[in-house]
Amino acid sequence: MKKAPLYETWEMNDFRELLDGIEKRYAVNCAYVWHDGYTDDGIITKSYTELAEDVKNLAAYLCAMGLEGKTVAVTGKNSYLWAVSYLAIGCGCGMIVPLDRDLRSDELSGLCTDAGCAAIFYTSDMEEKIAAMENPRLLRLPLSCAETYFSRGAELRAEGSMSYENHTVDPDAPGVLLYTSGTTGVAKGVLLSQHNICADIVNVCRRVKITGDDRVLSHLPLHHTYECTTSLAMLYSGGSIAFNDNLRRLPRDLSLFRPTMLVTVPAVLEFMAKFVRRSYADARGGKLLLGVQRAASGVTSKTLQLLSDKTGQKHKRRIFSTIDHFFGGKLRAILVGAAPLSPDTFRLFEGFGYAVYCGYGLTETAPISLMHDDFYRCADDTGFPVCGVEARIDSPDENGIGELCLRGPNVMLGYHNNPEATSEVLRDGWLYTGDLAQMTKSGAYRITGRKKSMIVSQSGKKIFPEELEAYLSRSPIVAECMVYAEEQDGNLRICAAVYPDKTETEKVLGCTEGDPAYAEKLRALLLELTREINNSLPPYKHIRRLIIRKTEFVKTTTKKIKRSAPENTEHPAGETVIS
């Protein structure tokens, strides 16, 4: 285990202690900021004091509606009202069930029934779905009426209601029920205590410095524990949270809100990397300029080794001033999770002057378990266990690869109404993650693949789809890809389904998609790429079948391809199949 300094933190065990602590410490500081979407200068801010009052008033209203001790769901677009609802339920009401806004009405209905929800908060974009839900006893609470809830709650408190003050929170009881959107199976209900989440926040902040000067741009769905926990970590540290409600407006919001930190997923960062490379390639002399700037950035890294890392990063950002301007001019750190980030993209953004922190976690671990920090970052791994978390490799093979097991205060209580599934993954205090990993020479951990997606050849050789996908993804002509195995005449063969990048392929091929020769040229181009990859690998890893998709893959809300989705493995008529 590496030795590193620890930042000073303050202890909390539940959301009530979190709210009390931030109200006392940060009071008039900005907690949330967003654009009203209607006017040019419609910037709205909420201080920590205003946040605390809104939470208390809403909690008082919920108790008056007979919801104390009950389970309440929240769904819809990221917004201040979504965040207030989450905190009000947790601080003064009962158990929170964050739900994916992309679910169908019948799916929302089924999960609310499974969770035993008494009520559901929802944003205005969800009105039709909520109206179609078949839960007659479920109390619908549209967040378009939030001001009414706040006003009534304030009146109740002014009249002497002490429901919020008298409500007690058990930090170790089930506090949040999260339904996973896993890539390889049916969603499970993960039960986390408030202590699970709070312990994760405190332990991450012991080695990642966040201050009141920091601002994060929230663009990942808040129902996902990765986005939710990191947002709460920002509040814990006194920073501010700006909302982006649409990825198409991400460039505008980066310029408008000027974040210092960006919490994102590899798919978004990879898209940005392609955008940057394409912008340089399209500009006259752009490739030469990029090469010169990257060389200068490398020189900066070497000549400033005796200075602080922050100083070196600032100098790099000055070299890439155009890119820095695109990100708002204040960005200093990028936190990446939910899936592996390619080393090339890691190094690219580090070269631009941004500290890139990769992390690993599961909904079952609230979620962050392994992470880079202010004292260690590396393109080829996902860092060390966060403070308080233990990790080990179960049954490692000759290469040291085995199932990653975790133990710590952030590990879930279990799966909702599913003791069999719970006992499968929670054994002797350890969570068996289902992910394969190995320890590097530095002691950090590298995730090598998912146990369920690992392919075992007839000779017993292990093939990790993620490795082959990484090779394919290095090519700019590949937008998305998925590798899997299928049976043919009693033997397994490796298949690669590829969704090409239209802009790049048209540029390379010198013709557009409408050209009669396009399809044949595209087949030849991707076949050549596959052969190049196969030539660099042992025969048992060779891709034997290539499928060119005409549509994107079905993905989770954090942009991970769903390996189990039939739409991703059953290829409809009209798609090109190459054997």
Q: What is the per-residue pLDDT across 138-158, written as a single tens digit (0 to 9) for each?
A: 999 999 999 999 999 999 999
| 576 vs 546: CA distance, rounded Å | 9
- Within 13 Å of residue 178, how many CA atoms lie on the same side as its CB? 30
Residues with Cβ within 8 Å of residue 488, at least 6 apart in sequence: none
| Average pLDDT for 307-312 | 62
**Cis (ω within 30 of 0) for the bond into 409?**
no
Average pLDDT value for residue range 265-294:
68
What are the DSSP calls for 362-430, one per residue? -GGGSSEEEE-BTTB--TTS--EEPTT-EEEEES--TTS-EEEEEESTTS-SEETT-HHHHHHHEETTE
pLDDT band of residue 273 (cuts 50, 70, 90) is confident
Report how far residue 293's alpha carbon sits from residue 306's, in angstroms, rounded to the nearest whole number: 21
For the cut 90, the answer to whether the pLDDT of residue 228 exceeds it is: yes
Decide if pLDDT at 332 tops 90. yes
- Whether 20 contacts 51, CB under 8 Å: no
Judging by DSSP bridges, how do beta strands 402-407 and 390-394 pair with one another? antiparallel
What CA–CA distance (Å, rounded) separates 402 from 255?
A: 44
Strand partners, 392: 405
Handedness of CA 85, 91, 93, 95 (dihedral sign): positive
pLDDT (tens digit, 9 = 90+) per residue, 169-199? Answer: 999 999 999 998 654 445 789 999 999 999 9
**Beta partners for 578?**
546
- What are 527-568's pLDDT values in tens digits? 999 999 988 888 888 898 898 988 888 887 767 788 777 777
pLDDT, residue 289, reads 52
Q: Model confidence at 573, in pLDDT bands (50, 70, 90)?
A: very low
At residue 279, the pLDDT reads 65
Q: Which residue has the higher pLDDT, 135 or 70?
A: 70
Mean pLDDT of 55-67: 97
pLDDT bin (cut points 50, 70, 90) of residue 288 is low
At 1, the pLDDT band (50, 70, 90 cuts) reads very low
Q: Which helix (H) or strand (E) holds 446?
A: strand 445-450
> What mean pLDDT, rounded, does the chain reach?
88
- State the DSSP H helix or E strand holding residue 435, giving kind and residue range, or none if neither: strand 430-439
Tell me, yes or no, if the pTM score tops 0.85: no
Instruction: State the pLDDT at residue 185.
Output: 47
Structure confidence at residue 285 as a pLDDT band (50, 70, 90): low
Residue 490 clears pLDDT 70, i.e. is over it: no
- Give the pLDDT score at 58: 98
Confidence of residue 569 (pLDDT cuts 50, 70, 90): confident
Nearby residues of 98 by Cβ (< 8 Å), 6 or more positions away: 73, 74, 75, 86, 176, 178, 222, 223, 224, 228
Q: E strands within 228-295?
A: 240-243, 261-264
pLDDT reported for residue 299:
47
Q: Distance between CA 180 and CA 366 in Å, rounded?
A: 12
Residue for token pair 């209905």:
109
Q: What's the pLDDT tens digit per position in 399-443?
A: 899 999 999 999 999 999 999 999 999 999 999 998 999 999 999
What pLDDT, on a 0 to 100 scale, did the predictor assign at position 276? 74
Q: Closest by alpha carbon to 468, among 487, 452, 486, 449?
A: 449
Q: What is the pLDDT of residues 79-99, one digit of tens each?
A: 999 999 999 999 999 999 999
CA 465 vs CA 166, 231, 437: distances in Å: 53, 32, 14
Q: Is the pLDDT of residue 572 over 60?
A: no
**Residue 136 DSSP one-character state:** T
pLDDT of residue 304: 47
The percent of residues in the chain predicted with pLDDT above 70, rounded, is 89
Q: What is the mean pLDDT of residues 241-264?
A: 90
Query: What is the Cα–Cα distance from 139 to 137, expressed in whole angstroms?
Result: 6
Per the model's pLDDT, the better-predicted residue between 491 and 390 turns out to be 390
- Mean pLDDT to the nearest integer, 467-496: 84
Estimate the crossing angle of helix 225-236 against helix 15-26, to 10 degrees: 40
Domains of the chain (ranges, CATH numbers): 15-169 (3.40.50.12780), 454-578 (3.30.300.30)
The answer to whether 406 and 365 are in contact (CB under 8 A) is: yes
CA distance 49 to 55: 10
Residue 84's nearest CA partner among 53, 109, 41, 105 is: 53
pLDDT of residue 329: 92
**Helix (H) or strand (E) run with residue 193 in it:** strand 189-193
Give the span between the Cα atoms of 202 and 523, in whole angstroms: 51
CA angle 448, 453, 394 (to 5 degrees): 50
